[in-house]
Amino acid sequence: MAGYQQLAEAIVSGIGGKENVIDVLHCATRLRFTLKDCAQADAGRLKKLEGIIMVVEAGGQFQVVIGNHVHDVYLTLLQILGLQEESLGGANTGKVKNNLLARFIDLVSAIFTPFLGIMAASGILKGFLALALVCGWTTRSSGTYLVWFAASDALFFFFPLVLGYTAGKKFGGSPFLTMAAGGALIHPLIRTASENASQATSTFFSLPLTFMDYSTTVIPIIFAAWICCWLERRLNSIMPQAIKNFVTPLFCLMVTVPLTFLLIGPLAIWGSQQLANGFQIIYDYAPLLAGLFLGSVWQGCVIFGLHWGLVPLMINNLSVLGYDTMAPLLLAAVMGQIGAVLGVLLRTRDAKQKMLAGSAALAGLFGITEPAIYGITLPLRRPFFFGCLAGGIGGAVTGYFHSRIWSFGLVSIFSVAQIIPPHGLDSTVIGAITGSIVALLLACLLTFFAGGIKRRMHEDETASASRQEMEKEPVADVVAAHTILAPLSGSLLPLERVPDPTFASGLLGMGTAILPATGTVVAPFSGEVATLVDTHHAIGLRSDEGVELLIHVGIDTVKLNGEHFTALVKPGDRVMSGDPLLTFNLQAISAAGFDLTTPIIICNSEAWASVCVATSAPTLTSGTPLLIVNH
């Protein structure tokens, strides 16, 4: 709990304080903030915190990716903010102006996130029951089956109740009032009337009523909740304080429920049917192309939280058609990322990376791919794209077999059971399994053989290995492995401690950093000056052996526009090891408020077997061994 407390406090500070928070909720792995001013949030600072995988700004939300323990951090966060879960999701979220897509994503995530876990569990239990029937372990008439089926079906049957509550919270009204409106849609009298053909002529004050079975529906109650909350706010603004607590709900129920049966419900059901049938027409026309597209882009949508936009469509398909053809395509996308992570696990020699890859693969099997994406595949780049490519190919295979899923849940290994149709195993199940296996194996093989994993070992381990080799091997062997000398005198820092995420993440290449004690940069090897920026704060060199090195003096020092820097060479100049390259006024730059931490990066790290730090000394002088680059 103490760790969660410290992390939650750091998050609140990093997002601009609790005064900057309008709303916060969480999904399976990330906190989703709606902030008054996103400019006050420091994403770079948050990314450096231990316990935070990634920070993403998308869908009108400031998203902090935590991992599987996000709910514990969320509860601690609420205590710090002085909020209760029931107080969140109010109408004040509308104060933040976002584009239509951002508002839609925010709306969907707020309404569906609170019960995502139980919805996934219910879907998995439905899948297990289908598997039990196929294998002959139980029958539909057995008490065991009836009890578990009731447990798995309850949430979906009473969807209007649950959605009424969460939609009411999101729209800023009384969630119990909108839940009552949802309950009216599935009341036994209404269900009986919908089953009785003679009730088709029923009227409400001479207006014709159309009764339908609203159990498992999604869209009607969301629109009804919006109308109810809008009416509630208007009535509360004009009703006397003494009576509004019961008069406002009275009028809301008297107006919203009949309006839902007369207009909102039939129109929403019609729209739901058109949406489901329209998607199915497109899918039937080109299922292979649909699988290729969704399997390829799904994990990209996950990165920005945009995958929530497809959740209502999947649930709507299940409600209208009784099955969904989208989720099986996404199973291949999930397996593609898992395969890429397994490729890293099998290939890497980094103990820390192996442990991270193992836990990320396990989480991915349960449908949580953020640890795999943010912790492994995306930082390494190639594995992420291999996972997406393999997911697209696997999705195409799945689409070719017209695979379907029969209950909702997180797309995971359990989805295999949910794909089994009520009549038993058929080719659609085989197609989904085949597509998933193709995606997993293809991503694993591509990552293992072409992911560049061997060249991207963690700096701590490679530095240790390098030091051990240096103790055992003669100096001549070390030099033959391309020794990069220190271009500066000062304190040695690991790359991950550079206060700039672009350098610290290794995206620009492997290397290290020096906090300079003097203001002269010298050539770390013999070669030529490849580049020199106009502001003279950064210089690129190319050694005779082909090592491409970047020396970047300070963080954000480009803003000095060359002031306090003097270049002693120009692009194309031939330099020898130890030759002065540029000078800078260390005291003046520090006085101007700039951090002088100097990253020293091997820009073409992928071209070498490994990049190792050659010394463990806390300080060093220019001209002493700094990095070892191996073939």
Q: Which residues are catalytic?
A: 27
Residue 627 CB coordination number (10 Å): 27
Phi, psi of 24 (to 5 degrees): -150, 135
Residue 143 CB coordination number (10 Å): 8
CA angle (620 as vertex; 615, 621 as ends), nearest 5: 130
Sign of CA dihedral 249, 253, 255, 256: positive
Sign of CA dihedral 318, 322, 326, 330: positive
DSSP assignment of 206-244 equals: TEEP-----TT--HHHHHHHHHHHHHHHHHHHHS-TTTH
CA pair distance 539, 474, nearest whole angstrom: 32
DSSP assignment of 156-201 equals: HHTHHHHHHHHHHHHTTS-HHHHHHHHHHHT-HHHHHHHH-GGGGG
CA pair distance 8, 1, nearest whole angstrom: 10
Identify which of 624, 381, 378 has the alpha carbon closest to the alpha carbon of residue 514. 624
CA pair distance 250, 238, nearest whole angstrom: 15
Residues 455, 605 contacting (CB under 8 angstroms): yes
Residues 25, 105 contacting (CB under 8 angstroms): no
Alpha-carbon distances of 17 from 38, 51, 222, 533, 553, rounded to whole Å: 11, 19, 32, 38, 33
Sheet of 490-493: strands edge to edge? 574-575, 527-532, 538-543, 548-552, 598-602, 510-516, 490-493, 619-620
Residues 483, 627 contacting (CB under 8 angstroms): yes
